[in-house]
């Protein structure tokens, strides 16, 4: 049994835990694993190196992916699918584990449907917005980094009687902003799924000040949709055809709006790449390991076209077909819990 494995899309703490888990289970069963370099790029080009117990022994605590990653999608170029099938043949692969987000898993699903390729998927997104799994690995590390950052920013906000707007990742889903904001005791949280109410936010911040709390923390998803108001200058904000600021610049824009509306000195911080790198938390090492072990077992059981997933406390498998193409947006009940704290 010879199994290819690849990691696609943005990097995420826990990817190496998945790789190590799959290598171990397949190795224990007498199989071989080939690491394909840089996502689907490596699968197309057939560039891979053997992964062994030895060379995956010390990677559990390492952030990112030892395989590298890319956003290459073989379906964007018909020749690439052919090349991929030929490389799969040439390398003598019996199965292929694809660890990635909706795009990567969509390719795995199509290859299974169109070409009966023995693909297995493992869900990966730092944003926690993939369907059919309760949580994705990397997310927990990310919210811990955000929370620690907010913990740090709180004391500086307090000392200088400022508001600080913290911009987190989350283009389409507010999971990171909502959980990090809840963990960091944010005074207001802006997410893509909930219509932003600038006035309500400013009222909370002003009431805090009236009550003697001279500082505040606002957490905003990068994907929160703000209708720009006249006279606010932002450097990176991209305004879409509908006049909404959709990606980039949300933190800066929100800070300038708050400062203008409330008269309170306001700063913004963009956490950016800090949120996705570095050693995984215990949760992510455990989840990644269990998903890797689960993916390896699916290969051994020849259950292809499936994706490993976390449901409750169990690792289960679902059809790739059912998992791809749908975003798991923030549960409104969750935001409602956080909103209990948007008061003085």
Q: How many CB atoms lie within 10 A of CB 313?
A: 7
Contact between 120 and a copy of itself by CB under 8 A: the answer reads no
Shortest distance, CB of residue 199 to a copy of itself, whole angstroms? 19
Does residue 10 have a known ligand-binding role? yes
Residue 8 contacts residue 100 (beta carbons within 8 Å): yes
DSSP label at 245? E
Shortest distance, CB of residue 313 to a copy of itself, whole angstroms? 5
Report the residue from 2, 154, 172, 244 that binds a copy of itself according to the rule CB under 8 A. Answer: 154
Report the residue from 160, 238, 302, 303 that binds a copy of itself according to the rule CB under 8 A. Answer: 160
- Applying CB under 8 A, which part among 82-90, 220-228, 254-262, 308-316 lies near a copy of itself? 308-316
d(Cα 85, Cα 304) in Å, to the nearest integer? 16
Q: How many CB atoms lie within 10 A of CB 70?
A: 15
Does residue 234 have a known ligand-binding role? no
Residue 268 contacts residue 164 (beta carbons within 8 Å): yes
- Rounded to 5 degrees, what are φ and ψ at 191? -135, 160
Does residue 343 have a known ligand-binding role? no
Contact between 135 and a copy of itself by CB under 8 A: the answer reads yes
Report the residue from 89, 92, 161, 229 that binds a copy of itself according to the rule CB under 8 A. Answer: 161
- CA of residue 85 relative to chain centroid, distance: 29
Q: How many CB atoms lie within 10 A of CB 110?
A: 19
Report the residue from 86, 247, 282, 301 that binds a copy of itself according to the rule CB under 8 A. Answer: 282
Q: Of residues 18-37, which lie at the interface with a copy of itself (CB under 8 A)?
A: 21, 24-25, 28
Q: Of residues 189-228, which lie at the interface with a copy of itself (CB under 8 A)?
A: 213
Nearer to a copy of itself (CB atom), residue 243 or residue 312: 312
- Applying CB under 8 A, which part among 72-80, 224-232, 318-326, 336-344 lies near a copy of itself? 336-344
Does residue 274 have a known ligand-binding role? yes
N-terminal to C-terminal alpha carbon distance within the chain: 61
Report the residue from 195, 199, 235, 242 that binds a copy of itself according to the rule CB under 8 A. Answer: 235
Contact between 312 and a copy of itself by CB under 8 A: the answer reads yes
Contact between 270 and a copy of itself by CB under 8 A: the answer reads yes
**Is 284 among the residues known to form the active site?**
no
d(Cα 285, Cα 324) in Å, to the nearest integer? 24
- Applying CB under 8 A, which part among 72-80, 112-120, 219-227, 312-320 lies near a copy of itself? 312-320
DSSP label at 124? -
Q: What is the dihedral of CA 74, 75, 76, 79, to 10 degrees?
A: 70
- Applying CB under 8 A, which part among 86-94, 107-115, 197-205, 274-282 lies near a copy of itself? 274-282
Residue 21 contacts residue 114 (beta carbons within 8 Å): no
Does residue 276 have a known ligand-binding role? yes
Contact between 149 and a copy of itself by CB under 8 A: the answer reads yes
Does residue 125 have a known ligand-binding role? yes
Contact between 274 and a copy of itself by CB under 8 A: the answer reads yes
Residue from 80, 127, 129, 317 carrying the catalytic annotation: 127
Does residue 273 have a known ligand-binding role? yes
Contact between 60 and a copy of itself by CB under 8 A: the answer reads yes
Give which of 312, 292, 258 is closest to 28, Cα–Cα: 292
d(Cα 2, Cα 239) in Å, to the nearest integer? 49
Does residue 24 have a known ligand-binding role? no
207-215 LR contacts (CB < 8 Å, sep 24+): 207/343, 207/344, 208/344, 209/262, 209/264, 210/344, 211/344, 213/344, 214/158, 214/161, 215/154, 215/157, 215/158, 215/160, 215/161, 215/162, 215/163, 215/164
**Residues designated catalytic:** 127
Binding-site annotation: residue ranges for substrate: 125-127, 162, 169-171, 222, 267, 273-276
Binding-site annotation: residue ranges for Mg(2+): 102
Binding-site annotation: residue ranges for diphosphate: 10
């Amino acid at each position: 049994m010879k199994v290819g494995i690849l990691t696609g899309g943005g990097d995420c703490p826990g990817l190496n835990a998945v790789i190590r888990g799959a290598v171990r289970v397949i190795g224990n069963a007498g199989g071989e694993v080939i690491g394909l370099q840089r996502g689907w790029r490596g699968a197309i080009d057939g560039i891979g190196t053997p992964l062994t117990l030895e060379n995956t022994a010390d990677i559990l605590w390492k952030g990112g992916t030892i395989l590298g990653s890319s956003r290459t999608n073989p379906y964007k170029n018909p020749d690439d699918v052919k090349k991929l099938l030929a490389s799969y043949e040439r390398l003598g692969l019996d199965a292929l584990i694809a660890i990635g987000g909706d795009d990567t898993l969509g390719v795995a699903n199509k290859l299974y449907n169109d070409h009966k390729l023995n693909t297995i998927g493992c869900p990966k997104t730092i944003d926690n917005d993939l369907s059919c799994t309760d949580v994705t690995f990397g997310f927990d590390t990310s919210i811990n980094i955000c929370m620690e950052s907010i913990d740090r920013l709180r004391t500086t906000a307090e000392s200088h009687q400022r508001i600080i707007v913290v911009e987190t990742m989350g283009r389409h889903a507010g999971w990171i902003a909502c959980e990090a904001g809840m963990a960091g005791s944010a005074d207001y949280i802006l997410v893509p799924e909930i219509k932003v109410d600038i006035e309500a936010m400013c009222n909370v911040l002003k009431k805090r000040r009236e009550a003697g709390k001279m500082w505040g923390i606002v957490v905003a998803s990068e994907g929160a949709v703000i209708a720009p108001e006249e006279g606010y200058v932002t450097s990176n904000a991209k305004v879409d055809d509908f006049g909404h600021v959709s990606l980039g610049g949300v933190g800066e824009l929100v800070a300038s709006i708050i400062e203008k509306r409330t008269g309170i000195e306001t700063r913004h911080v963009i956490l950016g790449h800090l949120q996705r790198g570095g050693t995984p938390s215990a949760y992510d090492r455990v989840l990644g390991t269990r998903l890797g072990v689960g993916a390896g077992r699916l290969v051994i059981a020849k259950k292809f076209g499936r994706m490993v997933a976390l449901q409750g406390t169990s690792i289960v498998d679902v059809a790739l077909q059912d998992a791809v193409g749908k975003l798991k947006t923030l549960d409104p009940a969750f935001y409602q819990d956080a909103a209990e704290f948007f008061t003085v």
